[in-house]
Amino acid sequence: MQKIFITVLLLLTLSLQATDALPSWNEGTSKQSIINYVTAATKERTADFIPVKDRIVVFDNDGTLWSERPVYFQLYFAMDRVKALASEHPEWKTTEPFKSVLENDMNGVMKSGEHGLVQIVNATHSGMDNESFKTIVKEWLKTAKHPTSQRAYSELIYQPMMELITYLNMNDFKVYIVSGGGIDFMRSFIPEVYGIPEEHIIGSSGKVHYKDGQIIKDPAINYNNDKEAKPIAIYYAIGKHPVAAFGNSDGDFAMMLYTEANKKHKTLQLYVHHTDEKREWAYDRKSHIGKLDKGLDYGKEHNWTIMDMKNDWKVIYPFELNKKD
């Protein structure tokens, strides 16, 4: 048994040295900056070597690891839950923002603003223990379809970023998700779909209480993990500056600045820039979702890697790989 394991390990190591760890990335400065960084960080007895214990890297999720258009996928889940629960809440037929949800009026939903979205989340993400909630999300993900592509949401993950996560894991980096998405929502699919364990997922959360061995989700926001809240959440959960940060919006800017401020180690900041309106979406400075403005300027001035989805990625989604066969 041990011999087999060791042989496999050896073969894997040798084959990785020989093959391209990022096959869905086109050759170019983005890919090269990643490879240069990882190569330097793992080369012992050189200036940029990073001890394994400090190899902490953070990824945003929405728009960085999977798509976030037309709106965050978690909102589609919440809206479907409103519809599923509507028979228990006859008053929703005449009360905003629920009325708009039930009438499939996305403009009406968005008009309800942050207050309306919080109401929808509170009504659909509470009243049960966290394990039951995750089961509901898992069931939903099995059948729910993205409104424009008609794909399962878990198909709309970025193949090049999955390769990047594997590449970092193989080089002993600990990969954390630091997202504005809800922790239980993310924990219901990320371990299986991205291979990142539940305990490496940092997100927004609701209030909870403890009862009879279970965690019960209450209808109130506990933590909104966006902007400056991201480095603070990293501090509470991890306790130190990451060495690399990957994001796509101004919501990730503070987390990337926090990473850049690491005094011990060379760092890497990478922005996924949505430039491909044909294969995905193109948006940045003026977008309501995933707005990238301040971070784009700063990143360009400070030698951050501004990845260009259109030119840097051979494929966007994993299902495109099959097409090419």
Q: Which is nearer to a copy of itself, 118 or 215 (CB)?
A: 215
- CA–CA separation, 309 vs 268, rounded Å? 18
- CA–CA separation, 188 vs 130, rounded Å? 10
How far is CA 67 from each of CA 149, 155, 252, 275, rounded to the nearest angstrom? 11, 10, 15, 13
Listed ranges 106-114, 140-148, 203-211, 293-301: which one lies at the site for a copy of itself (CB under 8 A): 203-211
Among 8, 12, 220, 261, binds a copy of itself (CB under 8 A): 261
Among 139, 147, 236, 321, binds a copy of itself (CB under 8 A): 236
Local structure of 103: helix, strand or coil? coil
- CA–CA separation, 128 vs 278, rounded Å? 41
Q: Which residues pair with 313 in a beta bridge?
A: 25
> What are the helix (H) ranges across the chain?
2-18, 29-41, 73-85, 98-102, 106-111, 113-124, 130-143, 159-170, 183-187, 190-194, 229-237, 253-260, 294-301, 309-312, 319-324
Minimum Å gap between C-beta 244 and a copy of itself is 15
Minimum Å gap between C-beta 116 and a copy of itself is 26
Q: Which is nearer to a copy of itself, 82 or 255 (CB)?
A: 255
Among 49, 113, 235, 297, binds a copy of itself (CB under 8 A): 235
Among 154, 166, 169, 214, binds a copy of itself (CB under 8 A): 214
Among 15, 19, 94, 210, binds a copy of itself (CB under 8 A): 210
DSSP category for residue 54: G
Q: Which of residues 158-197 bind a copy of itself (CB under 8 A)?
A: 174, 183-184, 187, 191, 197
Whether 242 and 58 have beta carbons less than 8 Å apart is answered as: yes
6 interacts with a copy of itself by CB under 8 A: yes
Listed ranges 98-106, 155-163, 233-241, 269-277: which one lies at the site for a copy of itself (CB under 8 A): 233-241
9 interacts with a copy of itself by CB under 8 A: yes
- CA–CA separation, 169 vs 200, rounded Å? 13
Among 250, 260, 284, 312, binds a copy of itself (CB under 8 A): 260
Listed ranges 82-90, 95-103, 148-156, 259-267: which one lies at the site for a copy of itself (CB under 8 A): 259-267
- CA–CA separation, 112 vs 145, rounded Å? 24
List residues binding a copy of itself (CB under 8 A): 2, 6, 9-10, 13, 53, 56, 130-131, 174, 183-184, 187, 191, 197-199, 201, 205, 208-210, 212-215, 228, 231-232, 235-240, 254, 257-258, 260-261, 263
